Structure 1
């Protein structure tokens, strides 16, 4: 048994010694097919296997939690160690999952060899994967023509030089440690930049005093520069709306998991807030979870009579009596099997309304 263990250990050491060893000094800014990588291979570079020309950004197999059990293929701002884009948001993988670049594109397979994320099909063969100094990850063919780029597949973050077009949006993550797609969106329309929760608008850029309107022409795209946020018209020269910000070479605009849109600048060695909306937290849907009443006083969230904050779901109001079980909402087929004899209904006190904001009046 001991000899078998020693043989296995020797084989493992030999296998690890054959893996490519990359350090911060020799990461390339492009790779070519056929290339494969997993977290184990690049543990010495914290999962990074690609770096922009000046080292501002890295492509990495990284994790969003301290446990380091679930990994995402991400683009990271190196100085702040901030994830600005992730491929497999809804399908994190293990440390041994394989990331592959072939002539057909980029893909991720899990431990069972199932494809969990991939780029679309192309008419040309992929010649290289490049990470630009702008933070844009691109696939190019043999003529250096772009076949795909990460800027066109936004997640929850917008960086300098990246554009959002009408119909596109930033989508918040579920939580700090869970990058899965949540319910909050920052959407670009032909007239404005808006925050929405499950399709319901709760903030518009046009309602802000810092947003200067210069034109009534339709919005063609949103772009952030080192000096501000701009909604440009069709000519790309005149801004329909503009928000001036303190100059900074590194800015990111992010829709947080709690539904707050912010623009922050990296100054020195820390992030500094430039712009945060909405200011009134009670204007954000679901601030206090299910059935919670939002107040601008302390405490912010109040549960109605007969309810209290549950231990299992943050800020969700649940019945005080443990014997009472509230059914979930009806599904589209009208299935009412959950409404059985054990269901008990509690009457809410006067003054409790469904969610309302500047755009929608509450229903009593």
Structure 2
């Protein structure tokens, strides 16, 4: 199409602004509503670029022209905000304001869908509609896969942006093979539905595209809004009116006049099952904002987007009932935020994060420590309620039971006791993470509520006589120290050389976030002279013990010199981090040649016990295995991507994955871990780990955190198949699990890999095979082709698909063993690191 024809067609002049005389690059073409296969777009200025007054930039790829100049229209392409160093591939609404100008000026764009909100790309990134029908986004710098539609091999013929703003891949029969409407982010446009199980997830803030904690989901009986925590906390609920003959609702649909909740039949059964909206005068969209509000926007005649309705207030919700209105621990009173202050007390246990911005919330003056539960206390706040009414402690019907239940559970951070006229009979709400609270007037809401926030007292605050005792003790010790100082100095000098190699006391005082340091006698006493042995591994034995009321696992490193580096690594690494999917380090001991680590006790033992069937245990069901895999992935994602320095664990295997009483999985044994600066692409280190779980790049000794992802792939395969990676009891052709996986994948016989002990696994075989494909993605020989752990988590959450073009020539781990020539650098195989109950 020539430029002259474009100007002749009055309806496509906006396209001219975006793509006049666009120069083809590797199949790149001018902007039209659709594109064919084998088209490649490069994110650079060869794509016609429009920059707005606020510095944001649009590079459209496919564009649906408006009916008139003043009408908004939909396009898909690259989008960025200042300073425009990071781009997303998105669907956005383009608008023009000057109908008199022969070349209308596009003034702003509103993103309504995004493919890579958590993984932006840079300049020269590529988007390709491949010859086999897959829409693929890659980073140009290293060719790394960022996002894929997962439609390879589904007979895709073309891509098109519809008039409703739906980015669609059509197949040979003109049927939909993939569409952006099926993968919503934080917005809905007219004609779009949110199906049961789908989520609208708000951005983390108004200035970032990363998904935040707040989301809205359609469940079987209505629409629910949550803030993410463990478990999620409910802040919005819209239940559907129905009788017993009606079927469950399946979707909500945004139209030009309502947000309707549909049952599995074709129409709402009750007029109350829809939220009326103002009649549309122009283009509209609905967005879930980062503060939890669900707002309707419309393009106005004044040439700007205007918020015309807050849907969450229609339900209705008070401004103070939103979970982040005053940040964590903040109290909302008439729209104003303040920090908690106990009634009739001048003591302050919380302080603002930013005194100039009270809405950012508050933080405890003294962080809560599970190691000091005896000094926990509840701060009483009268006439204060909490937004989440779903987490009810069933066995706490009165105020005292409610408070005691929280004090006995370290994960409980606060409770709210809500009651009517009878103070002794009410509802006790428990939360593990405290968001905003709300002041109430009981006479207006017809109920009373008190909140109790857990605070950590200092020893002096918990015991008023302690300061006096400390003064007396200090004076006594000073006098004794003066008398024996010369004797101690002489003994120290005399014996220093003798114990220099054995003792070599490590300078733990310089380590940040140091856990409790115990004496050797204290640990001997708490383990009953190390009498209850739980297991043993490559660097020592593990014993059961009890410190106060808390059960612990004490790992004792064997020998004066053996394991010294591993001990230091473990204390440095896990002592400075904390995550729900990492085994918590309570404390340590280093006295002369004695080195011990004290961990939380994990009653269900290590994962290998449950998947290898050593103790004739019942097979785990598929739901439990999925939960364990997700927990492992989240723990590794935290180590790789959320710590100040990347942490490579380097010894991921079932023996180092421990389970609590609810089968929550946690990573253990950081004795081999490696810290990696974020500006390092690779680090050089000696070979370490366990045979059978070693990635191919160990042969070069230049490794990244991707070695953990390879090991994760091996563990997932073991969980699915219910057997060891290397099992000499199997027939010769099946000894190595990864070789067997390669063979089954190449012959399309993955169903043979499913654990036959579990009928539940067999009944979920399609889901299990998808999980095996995720494991195979993690097992790629080329580490750059393996996903990051955040991508793995997204696949497990259903927000992303597994890459289709997988290489099945998985690496044979025995090559690493034979190349190394000795096993001294490996941790011991099956018995390694057991911080758990008897096995």
> Which category describes the TM-score, using the shorter chain as reference length?
0.7 to 0.9
TM-score of the two chains, using structure 1 as the length reference: 0.78
CA drift of 1:191 comes to 1.6
Q: Which moved more, 1:89-98 or 1:118-127?
A: 118-127
Instruction: Name the structure 2 match of 1:73.
Output: 89
Deviations 1:127-180 (A, max 9, x none): 211111110001112332221000001111111111111111211111122111
Secondary structure, aligned partner of 1:300:
strand
Is 1:315 the equivalent of 2:360?
A: yes
Mapped to 2, the partners of 1:144 and 1:301 lie a distance apart of 58
Asked which structure has the greater CA Rg, the reply is 2
TM-superposed CA distance for 1:319, in Å, is 5.3
In the alignment, the residues of structure 2 paired with residue 137 and residue 203 of structure 1 have an alpha-carbon distance, to the nearest angstrom, of 30
| Offset from partner CA, 1:102-130 (integer Å, 9 cap, x none) | 13311111121100111114443322111
Distance 1:76 1:158 in 2: 12
**TM-score normalised by length of structure 2:** 0.36
User: Residue deviations 1:250-309, cap 9 Å, x none?
Assistant: 222211111111223333233232233154232222332232223225x32435424322
In 2 relative to 1, CA 158–38 (structure 1 residues): closer, same or farther, beyond 3 Å?
same
How far apart are the structure 1 equivalents of 2:352 and 2:124? Answer: 39
Q: 1:347 to 1:291 in 2, by over 3 A?
A: farther
Aligned to 1:3: none
1:272 and 2:307 aligned: yes
1:17-36 deviations in whole A, cap 9, x for unaligned?
Answer: 99449xxxx52001112222
Aligned to 1:134, what secondary structure does the other structure show?
coil
Structure 1 position 60, deviation (Å): 1.6
Is the contact between residue 266 and residue 272 of structure 1 (CA under 8 Å) also seen in structure 2? no
User: What do you get for the CA RMSD once the two structures are aligned?
Assistant: 3.1
> What residue number does 1:50 align with?
62
* 1:29/1:132 contact within 8 Å kept: yes
- Which of 177, 188, 212 aligns to 1:147? It is 177
**Do 2:138 and 2:147's aligned partners in 1 also have CA atoms closer than 8 Å?**
yes
Q: Distance in 2 between matches of 1:128 and 1:283?
A: 46
Higher RCO structure (Cα 8 Å, ≥6 apart): 1
Aligned residue number for residue 62 of structure 1: 79
CA distance in 1, matches of 2:328, 2:154: 50
For structure 2, list consecutive stretches of 5 or more residues without a partner in the other structure: 1-20, 51-57, 67-71, 96-107, 342-347, 392-415, 417-428, 431-451, 453-839
The verdict on how the C-alpha distance between 1:300 and 1:101 changes in structure 2, with shifts beyond 3 A counting, is same
Q: Choose the corresponding residue for 2:112, options 36, 60, 84.
A: 84
Query: What do residues 74-112 of structure 1 show as CA deviations (whole Å, max 9, x unaligned)?
Result: 000112511000000110111221111113311111121
Query: For structure 1, which segment, 77-86 or 50-59, has the greater mean C-alpha deviation from structure 2 after superposition?
Result: 50-59
Q: Name the one with the larger helix percent.
A: 2
The Cα shift of 1:43 comes to 4.5
Q: Take 2:122 and 2:385, find their aligned partners in 1: how far apart are those partners?
A: 41
Structure 1's 181 and 350: CA in aligned 2 closer, same or farther, altered over 3 A? same
Q: Secondary structure at the match of 1:178?
A: coil
Deviation digits for residues 206-233 of structure 1 (CA, Å, limit 9, x no counterpart): 4xxxxx9577732121101111110112
Q: How does 1:196-345 map to 2 (within 5 A)?
A: 196-198=226-228, 199-206=232-239, 217=246, 218-240=248-270, 241-248=273-280, 249-268=282-301, 269=303, 270-278=305-313, 279-296=317-334, 299-304=336-341, 305-311=348-354, 315-318=360-363, 326=367
